[in-house]
Amino acid sequence: MSKYITLKDKTFAPYIPERRIIEAITKMAGRIVHDMEGRDPLFVGILNGAYMFVAELMSKLPPTCELTFAAYSSYHGTKSDRIVKELLPVRIENRNRPVILLEDVVDTGFTMQYVMNRLREEGVNDVRLAAMFFKPGALQCNIKPDYVGMEIENDFIIGFGLDYDGYGRSLRSIYKIVE
């Protein structure tokens, strides 16, 4: 893992190495395979931040798993404005199958609460949430991921798909902001 990284006007320090991320995703995949045995879940990757998590997780699941993508936004810079914008909604043909949302990080929870409630309103009765990172100290609503790769502190992080104003997504490890 390299040293400090500066993106735009912020500096980030090494935080979680890639190998720990891969180990966490492998364990999560095992739990999902166990829970979904005999079922046909639809996996929904939440863009843009979850793309690396989704790719790694899907490579550890059976090839019969179906994947689609959706996009929502509530962040500007390092803060959520609590207004969820639906950029690419979830499209579901069969509402009788489980839907597992794949999210990069759950912090305030507002975006995933919005998406999960929306799917339930549309008639999906089994909606689950898999988050690579979960910040319980930042949670401001009544949701909890069903599958968590790692619980972390409430630091702003980049890497492994997560960004700061579009930068830093391609880093294979996680870095946290230096205030």
Q: Residues with catalytic annotation? A: 107
The HSE-up count of residue 132 (CA atoms within 13 Å, CB side) is 31
Lookup result for tokens 């949302």? 101
In three-state secondary structure terms, 86 is strand
- Helices of type H across 36-146: 51-58, 110-121
State the distance between the two ends of the chain, measured CA to CA, in whole angstroms. 20
